[in-house]
Structure 1
Amino acid sequence: MTIGTNGNYAKSYANHQLWRLHVTNNEQIAKILAFSRIAHLHDINFWSKHFRIHEPIDIRVPPQAIDDFADFLTSDGVKIEYVVHMNDIGAIIERQRILQNLTQSSSNTNDFAYDKYHTIEDIHAWVDQMVATYPEMVTPFTVGKSYENRDMKGFKISSKKMATKRDGTKVTAKKAVWWDGGIHAREWISPATVIYTAYTLLSKYGQDPTITQLVDQFDYYILPVFNVDGYAYTWTKDRLWRKTRSKTSVANCYGADPNRNWDYDWCKSGSSHDPCDDTFCGEKAFSEIETAQVAKFIADQRGTIVNYINFHSYSQLWMSPWSYTTTSPAQFKLQDDGSIQAINALTAVHGTQYQHGSVAQIISPTSGSTIDWTYGIANVTFSYGVELRDTGEYGFLLPENQIIPSGEETMAGLEALLMYIDKHVYA
């Protein structure tokens, strides 16, 4: 693993705490929502993006802000209760870094460890390995170059067989799905889970009847890491970096939130015009080369892709459009029933509980999101944003021993969802 020149990450989170706020009324919600817009000025970072009564809100607080933030939570006659959920985020990051160094997988890509987190270089080598190992099924593609000139590298899985309708007739125009991970750089369980599910499709094809059927019915576009620059940065400089790494109009403030940068109701609710904020929407819609190129790739497959999933962490949510409004789209029941199929199958594996619904209803309205564009512009009916494990015990610092369980349950959910989609697109 490449680390900072001082033997550690360049940005230290020593003595930073994670506070869990408990809000019980709308006054408290309004107070904390207003503060969220200026939190970055104090190096206070909201790990939770939802602001709802009786839903915990996780906030990283640096040591220099602890006293003032505690005072703020009791000020103005609106007291907000909290507990210190993590006493020292930096110590957790350091323990995980040491463990990763001790358990580094072999340099031989054939020994890729699916129960470990991997650098962007390792992941791209794994893509090459899949192409070499399954040449009849895997075709590499590069969406384009990132801002820092990295390849946005993925692959297509196809059995080359024709899909079959419910009545047994063959379909010449096979439908496709797109799954991507790592749109937010710090959410390491996301690429790890996408990698696990893609490998499961390949390694169990011809052995597992359900997977064999699903690979024959659909083509799969897999992009393990969307935000390649940001992800690389989390391995070398700042473990909790979220955005891209493009330059902005403000010195020393970098990147935009690639899940707020899409040209659909861009930069209204739930996003920021401040380049220093974690939810900065960009200077304009599709200002980020990464989002623009993924959008072009998907648009070029218009009419083919019927399922899009943007994997995130954390909170255990399976969400459909809309993100920008709590008003449900015309196809909401069709989409949400797919979510229900997925989470029921997922829960059956390890008992992990997920919620379902639209993004705006479950979290809060968010403009310029990926799935609003894929659904509203690219006409991908079954567009979802999935928040993986956990519900906040570890948050973005999910231990490696949860990678395989996350992959197993997510794969079960995907199988159930694809069986559901199959019935509707090949009717």
Structure 2
Amino acid sequence: MHSIFFLSFLSFLCLACARASRIPGLPPVQSLKEYEDQVVIRFNISDAKDAAALRTVVDRMLLDVWDFTESRVDIRIPSRRIRFLTRALPSSLLDNHSILVPDLARVAAATYPSSRPSLGQNPHQHFHQGTTPASQDPIKYDIADVYFHDYQPYSVIVAWMRLVDSMFRGRGLIQMISIGKSYEGRDIPALRVGIRPDHVTSGHRREIILVTGGFHAREWISTSSVNYVAWSFIQSMDEDPVVKKILERFDFVFVPLLNPDGYDYTWEVDRLWRKSRQRTKMSYCPGLDLDHSFSYQWDSEGRQHEPCSGSYGGEEPLQAVEASQLVNWARNETENGFKFAGYLDLHSYSQQVLVPYSFSCQVQPPNIENLQEVAMNLAKHLRLSNGESYTVASACGGSGSESIGPFVEARGGSAIDYFYHELKTRYSYQIKLRDTGSYGFLLPSDNIVPAGEEIFQAMKYLGDFLLGNNGHEWLQESDGDEQEPPTKDDELPITELRKRQPENMSGDEHT
């Protein structure tokens, strides 16, 4: 079986690369020339006054905010504009900044595929900075290493998912699906992975754990990580009893590339393109930020007015075609009797597990303590894989009125808020993957496998946690029949949740 798959895999790889619209390994020259004049600067912020000053400059100069936490903001800027930036910022910010990426063109070029590994090479031998190779157990060469050795263009990703579908479709429920079409007409592919136990009837209502990536085109590590986790669950179903139990109970739906148009554009034209490629009211500023396009608390601050902004979510909720397609697919699943038990939306970078709500730091979900506890265990299992630390924070960008997030980027309309509030997905998170700033969105490809391993371990924890019904506060078993969730929009009070939860809710036993 493995030898047949191996030959098929090599054949697929050659055909996919040959059919790609451009030669893999050859980055778009024009955009790299533009990057030669650009740097990434980190500003350390200590108070709301500095944050407000930086927000004003970001809005006025339409700067590209790479990332922000409660204490700092990373910004990409052409070197020639630094002089104007320094004039507009207070001295407190100028005295607390550093250059993260001084040679953006070189770092961007290095993310494109350069060479394929020979059959004797093992990409797992590459380790992320801070990980000790000597502490790692030897890993046998796996045929999928050929695929995960590099970031892959859209055409290769689709071909690989089709191959997985053709090789494993007979195994319970493993199939490639499309959740819709992008603005430019590309399929938004997904892999649906599950097991149908013999003793369970085909009409039994199942639950879904959704994993998405590629909301923002330049975040290649999020796309590769979703596919790596899908592959890991498929490969483990016969060997890992925990994985088998999880897949017998849940359907995992892996959507690696919600923004295929923008992703393809990063390969063909501009490596650091963020948004979709949908037309806006300003023809010279195309694209919508998919993660500010969902209908729950859309444009909560009234800042969705600038199409040239990197966080522009459109003129109305769900105007972004791809966000609308995801919502339509999800609602169709619920109408067909499925429930969403969990949702992980993968992004980069900063190594954080983010908890709803994204639209406001002043409003918290009713089950915030439960969300935070599970988030801390997700961070724990992310760390246990390779030793990389992940922190837990609010998706709004902080925990109080003076947090940085509200000052830097428009909020509202996020996917995790929508799935949590509208589709009652009680455990909904955004995970920002590697790294913490050395490379940012231009993470080297030797991080693909270890980053994927980290997410796989976190996903195993989440699935095992949900198997204990701790993730289904509304669900009670009675003679094998499931009761319907409450009809009220508000979640159950935390005090009631605590009564229903076992003492070992922390999940430490799920390793």
TM-score, normalisation: structure 2: 0.75
| Counterpart Cα distance in 2 of 1:141 and 1:62 | 41
**2-structure distance, mates of 1:3, 1:282:** 34
1:214 to 219, 241, 246: 246
Out of 398-407 and 266-275, give the one that drifted further. Answer: 266-275
After superposing the two structures, state which structure 1 stretch, 123-132 or 320-329, moved more: 320-329
Q: d(CA) in 1 for partners of 2:288 and 2:145?
A: 35
Query: Which residue does 2:115 correspond to in 1?
Result: 102
> Which of 67, 71, 81 is the matching residue for 1:65?
81
1:123 counterpart residue number? 157
Measured after TM superposition, the shift of residue 331 of structure 1 is 1.6
Match of 1:34 among 56, 77, 80: 56
- Report whether the alignment pairs 1:419 with 2:452: no
Q: CA offsets, 1:119-163, max 9 Å, x none? A: 011111111011111012312211111111101111211211279
| C-alpha contact (below 8 Å) 1:174/1:304 kept by paired residues | yes
Once residues 297 and 105 of structure 1 are traced to their aligned partners in structure 2, the CA distance between those partners, rounded to angstroms, is 40
Give the SS at the match of 2:211. Answer: strand
Deviation at 1:206, TM superposition (A): 0.9
Q: State the aligned residue count.
A: 410
Partners of 2:434 and 2:185 lie apart in 1 by: 31
Distance 1:317 1:79 in 2: 26
Pick closer, same or farther for the CA change 1:20–1:349 going to 2, 3 Å.
same
Q: Which residue in the other structure is 1:340 paired with?
A: 376
In structure 1, how many angstroms separate the alpha carbons of the residues matched to 2:176 and 2:373? Answer: 33
Q: Give the match for residue 46 of structure 1.
A: 65
Task: Give the SS at the match of 1:243.
Answer: coil
Kindly provide the amino acid, as one letter, of the partner of residue 151 in structure 2: Y
Alignment partner of 2:67: what SS?
coil
Tell me by how many angstroms 1:198 deviates.
0.3
Alpha-carbon spacing, 1:271–1:313, altered in 2? closer, same or farther (3 Å): farther
- Describe the SS at the equivalent of 1:397: coil
Looking at structure 2, the residues matched to 398 and 316 of structure 1 have their Cα atoms a distance apart, in angstroms, of: 12
Question: What is the rounded CA distance, in whole Å, between the counterparts of 1:217 and 1:403 in structure 2?
Answer: 28
Q: Which amino acid aligns with 1:122?
A: V
DSSP 3-state at the match of 1:85:
strand
**Is 134-143 or 359-368 further displaced after alignment?**
359-368
- Whether 1:93 aligns to 2:101 is no
AA at the equivalent of 1:124: V
- Paired position in structure 2 for 1:167: none
Q: Identify the residue that residue 19 of structure 1 maps to in structure 2.
A: 41
Contact 1:162-1:216 at 8 Å conserved across structures? no
Change (3 A) 1:133 1:7: closer
Q: Please name the residue that 2:137 is paired with.
A: none
Correspondence for 2:454 among 381, 387, 409: 409
1:56 matched residue in structure 2: 72
| CA shift in 2, pair 1:422/1:13, >3 Å | same
CA distance in 2, matches of 1:25, 1:190: 31
> Contact (CA 8 Å) 2:110, 2:444: kept in 1 or not?
no
Distance in 2 (alpha carbons) for counterparts of 1:163 and 1:237: 52
Partner of 1:135: 169
Displacement of 1:62 in angstroms is 0.4
Q: Distance in 1 between matches of 2:108 and 2:418?
A: 35
Q: Which amino acid aligns with 1:317?
A: Q
Q: Is the 8 A contact 2:111 2:151 kept in 1?
A: no
- CA shift, 1:26, in A, is 2.2
Give the letter for the 2:167 counterpart.
Answer: T
Contact 1:163-1:217 within 8 A present in 2 as well: no
SS at match of 1:229: helix
Question: Which one-letter code corresponds to 1:310 in the other structure?
Answer: D
TM-superposed deviation, 1:71: 2.8
* Partner secondary structure for residue 101 of structure 1: coil
1:389 paired with 2:446, answer: no
1:185 and 2:185 correspond: no
Between the aligned partners of 1:186 and 1:294, the Cα distance in structure 2 is 20
* Identical aligned residues as a percent: 27
Cα distance change on mapping 1:154 and 1:225 into 2, 3 Å: same
Aligned to 1:8: 28
1:367 Cα offset (Å): 0.5
- Secondary structure of the residue aligned to 1:232 is helix
**In the alignment, is residue 114 of structure 1 matched against residue 148 of structure 2?**
yes
Q: Unaligned 5+ residue runs, structure 1?
A: 165-169
Deviation >4 Å, runs of 4+: 77-80, 109-112
Amino acid at match of 1:347: R
Select the structure of larger CA radius of gyration: 2
2:348–2:432 Cα contact (<8 Å) kept: yes
Distance of 1:147 and 1:310 partners within structure 2? 21
- Report SS of the residue matched to 1:405: helix
- Structure 2 partner of 1:372: 417
The structural deviation recorded for 1:3 is 6.6
Aligned to 1:248: 280
Matches within 5 A, 1:291-330: 291-302=323-334, 303-326=338-361, 327-330=363-366
2:181 aligned with 1:161: no
Counterparts of 1:348 and 1:18 in 2: how far apart (Å)?
A: 30
Contact 1:162 1:217 in 2 (8 A): no
Decide which moves more: 243-252 or 302-311. Answer: 302-311
**CA–CA distance in structure 1, aligned partners of residues 37 and 94 of structure 2:** 25
User: d(CA) in 1 for partners of 2:75 and 2:199?
Assistant: 47
Q: Report the alpha carbon displacement of residue 49 of structure 1 after superposing the two structures with TM.
A: 3.8
